[in-house]
A and B are shown apart, each in its own frame.
Chain A
Amino acid sequence: MDASDPLILARAQFALNISFHILFPSLTIGLVWFLVYFRARYARTGDPGWLDTYRLWTKVFALSFVMGVVTGIVMSFQFGTNWPGFMLKVGNIAGPLLAYEVLVAFFLEATFLGVMLYGMNRVPAWLHLAATVLVAVGTTMSAFWILALSSWMQTPAGHGYANGHLIAGDWFAVIFNPSFPYRFTHMMLAAGLTAAFVVAGLSAWRLLTAPADAGARRTLRTGALVAAVIAPLQVFVGDLHGLNTLEHQPAKIAAIEALWTTQRGAPLVLFAIPNEAQRRNDYAIEIPKGAALILTHDAEGELKGLDAFEPDRPPVAPVFWAFRIMVGLGVSMLVLAWLGAWLLRGGRAPARWLLWSFAGFTFSGWIATLAGWMVTEIGRQPWLVRGILRTADAVGSISGAQLGASITGYVVTYGVMFVAYMVVLTHLAAKGSGPGHPSTALKGARA
């Protein structure tokens, strides 16, 4: 593997951008619904505490949203700069799906974001609430279209050929391709979980220094409760998604399970070091017949191994590990959320160990979401669009030097942005939403 190989660099750059980008939508898609809730509670009760809460979390949201917007613009250009072959081959499908995302989602969220952030004193209360809801709807629709495209690349359907061009035969089948309903639901729940843990985690962070902050107690409980409801749903949907993958992309499942040969009654590999060179698992800890039971619901069921797909199979180790990180974190999040929901019931005061646990889990959703995307995207290789276009055939002719220069620029920019984001986020969290927080203090300080 040559580090200056344009294919490697193009992939590294795209992976860097898409991984950095996805952090922010996966938070804001969920967080905006928390804002709708806080805003609606204020509208209903008139309790200024809810308004303070709304204001604090709007700051977190605004910053995260902007991070998502600007890194998203990079994505829209890199489809062309890094993967011109992608548009040439499947542009008739991918183009319209992306266009619909811009038309129905981006403008809606961007425009009403302005009203939501700056218009509270300029429009009637109902209109401000409506603007918040429209931003929420916009982010969800954005996820709908981009996941329709992403899923179509995994499980293409509804397309045909005319004069050698790949075109859509049935747009409904293209959009609602076999893996789309599962992937969309899985991602929306992931976004909800990510936001719930950020809300609970930053509230816990505040409570560690200001245990009496009523607003932070309320949001800690809201976050824990929402997580406690979503986490089990996610386990259920994740299982359905896995079965769907087994049906449509068995090679990915074989990589997830590190199953090198086709066999009946395959074991569930809990831990192993996949050995690509010798095509076997070193130091494996297995549950006999586990994988067969989970995936075929039959202890003697047959599962296809990686040998059935050679040479068109994904690398095993990253998929295998990413899957275990995702599931391991998911289960831990479920346990913590239930524990928290139980211990905080009826407004009980949180113990410090619980606060530390939630604070430690603040960004667990990010890690689990990134790991999940690595499973699905690396697990799709060597295909970019399964059975239609290989990743290697989509790469452009940009020189290694240009790629190297721009990667350096992106890494530095992202590094600076990320540090600043984290500093401001923890800073906002530490200050909390009570009286004397920035929204009132700033006016005097900056004037």
Chain B
Amino acid sequence: MSLDLPVVFAALMGAAVLAYVVLDGYDLGVGMLMPAASRDEQDLMVASIGPFWDANETWLVLGVGLLLVAFPAAHGVVLGALYLPVAAMLVGLMLRGVAFELRVKAEGWHAELWNWLFWAGSFLAAFAQGVMLGRYVTGFESGFGYYLFALLVGAGLCGGYVLLGATWLVLRTERELQRKAVAWARWGLLWVALGVALVSLATPLASETVRARWFDYPRTLALLLLPLASAVAWFWVWRSTGTLKRGAPAAQWAPFAGAVAIFVLAFIGLGYSLFPYVVMDRLTIWEAAAHPSALRFVLTGTLIVLPFLVGYNIFAYRVFRGKVKAGGQEH
């Protein structure tokens, strides 16, 4: 078998991380928007993500699992270097995860506390993931500028998740809450534009490897397609939310689809910046790869299981399609 297994697994891991960022991104984003809504609206917002968030978070476990399976030499380096942001993310994910249950099952001030922790946990997890990304892209370099860059990416990713969450709510809610979600989406969009612009400018400054990769004529001309396509997606979301804002009929899935497109394009750009490194400038995917016997065993299982996995995920989304109604989160 002449298959380049490390490349296959890098692609699988990338796909799992992208699936995670988009899927858990919208439900973290909905969590972050909680303080802007009334208590009744909050219940609807949580109901719109209730059946999905657990499966969404499983993509994170798959992503880190594939890192562990395919690139064991990188696994310890990456997670060791990201120790504190990872711990912060985990605390955030734990608090918001149990808050799904406790904000309705607890009573009195306990319920209020968990309602607040649902927001705080979502925010902490999203910000920590951005910091992790910022540290990862720069190869864990230390220095004031690098830490500042990581915080910037943290803030930017929060904006991205808010955009995903708000456009998800446009799709899944109606009337007053939907109108609010449209406004949130447009704020998120501005936030994302600022964040992506700053990060795109800062990354080549922070990393020589990335600079060399992007500013290499004539390849740069072809690469310009990525920012161009992102700009098109951005304007598409801006226009479709604008139409909805005026109350004119518009496709309600369009803003979410556009937001997902922005994430996919940014992710492709990121993948291009990094490849073939699994630890920036230090460890390539071939150097860090596990033994082919282990990779083949996992690949076989993956190919058998993946169609079922995707199939029943789609099934679950079909079961819960449509607008969420009050009282929908009972069990």
Contact = CB atoms under 8 A, between A and B. Distances in A.
Q: Do A and B bind each other?
A: yes
Interface stretch (B168-176, B279-287, B313-321): B313-321
Contact of A77 (B40, B51, B79, B328): B79
A30 interface: no
A123 B319 contact: yes
B33 to A, nearest CB: 19
Interface residues of A, number: 77
A108 B315 CA distance: 12
Contacts of A113: 54-55
B319 to A, nearest CB: 5
Contacts of B87: 81, 405-406, 409-410
Contacts of B90: 73-74, 77
Contacts of B326: 447
Contacts of A424: 101-102, 105-106
A100 B301 contact: yes
B64 to A, nearest CB: 6
Contact of B319 (A70, A115, A171, A442): A115
Contacts of B75: 80, 84, 87, 91
Contact of B93 (A67, A73, A84, A443): A73
A119 B65 contact: no
B327 A443 contact: yes
A67 B93 CA distance: 11
Interface in B88-114: 88, 90-91, 93-95, 97-98, 100-102, 104-107, 110, 114
A110 interface: yes
Interface string B148-169: 0000000000000000000000
A76 B94 CA distance: 13
A88 B73 contact: yes
Given A76-B61, A77-B86, A424-B102, A107 B80 contact: no
B76 A114 contact: no
Nearest to B97: A70
A59 interface: yes
A285 interface: no
B211 interface: no
A246 B185 CA distance: 63
Interface stretch (A161-169, A196-204, A296-304, A382-390): A161-169
A285 B245 CA distance: 81
Contact of B110 (A92, A118, A120, A423): A423
A242 interface: no
Interface string B39-70: 01001000000111011011011101111111
Contact of A95 (B50, B58, B69): B69
Contacts of A107: 55, 58, 62, 309, 312-313
Nearest to B100: A66
Interface string B281-304: 000000000110110011001100
B62 A87 contact: no
Nearest to A17: B90
A329 interface: no
A210 to B, nearest CB: 19
Interface string A101-138: 01110111011111101111011000000000000000
A71 interface: yes
Contacts of B252: none
Nearest to A428: B105
Interface residues of B, number: 71
Contact of A446 (B43, B50, B293): B43
A74 B89 CA distance: 10
B69 A420 contact: no
Given A171-B297, A410-B91, A73 B61 contact: yes
Contact of B298 (A76, A95, A115, A406): A95
Given A66-B100, A103-B301, A118-B51, A447 B327 contact: yes
Between A111, A438, A442, the greatest number of chain B beta carbons within 10 A of the residue's beta carbon is seen for A111
Interface in A311-341: none
Contacts of B305: 103-104
Given A70-B97, A84-B80, A102-B61, A91 B320 contact: no
B212 to A, nearest CB: 30
B312 A112 contact: yes
Given A62-B331, A402-B84, A88 B72 contact: yes
Contacts of B319: 115, 119, 122-123
A417 B117 CA distance: 11
Contact of B62 (A80, A103, A439): A103
Contact of B65 (A70, A98, A117): A98
A63 interface: yes
Most buried by A among B114, B298, B330: B330
A85 interface: yes
Given A74-B90, A107-B313, A413-B91, A117 B293 contact: no
Contact of B80 (A94, A111, A396): A396
Contacts of A108: 309, 312
Task: Identify the interface centre among A73, A410, A417: most chain B CB within 10 Å of its CB.
Answer: A73
Contacts of B203: none
Given A73-B60, A80-B64, A122 B110 contact: no
Contacts of A114: 50-52, 54-55, 316, 320
A427 interface: yes
Interface in A396-433: 396-398, 402, 405-406, 409-410, 413, 416-417, 420-421, 423-424, 427-428
7 contacts: A73-B57, A84-B80, A95-B65, A106-B62, A118-B320, A427-B107, A446-B43
Interface of A: 55, 58-59, 62-63, 66-67, 69-74, 76-77, 79-81, 84-85, 87-88, 91-96, 98-100, 102-104, 106-108, 110-115, 117-120, 122-123, 162, 165, 167-168, 171, 396-398, 402, 405-406, 409-410, 413, 416-417, 420-421, 423-424, 427-428, 438-439, 442-443, 446-447
Interface of B: 40, 43, 50-52, 54-55, 57-58, 60-62, 64-70, 72-73, 75-80, 83-84, 86-88, 90-91, 93-95, 97-98, 100-102, 104-107, 110, 114, 290-291, 293-294, 297-298, 301-302, 305-306, 309, 312-313, 315-316, 319-320, 326-331
In the A-B complex, list the 8 residue pairs whose CB atoms are closest, starting with the nearest.
Answer: A84-B76, A91-B72, A114-B51, A95-B69, A80-B79, A70-B97, A92-B294, A406-B87
Given A102-B65, A167-B294, A168-B294, 6 more contacts: A66-B101, A73-B90, A111-B55, A112-B316, A162-B291, A417-B98
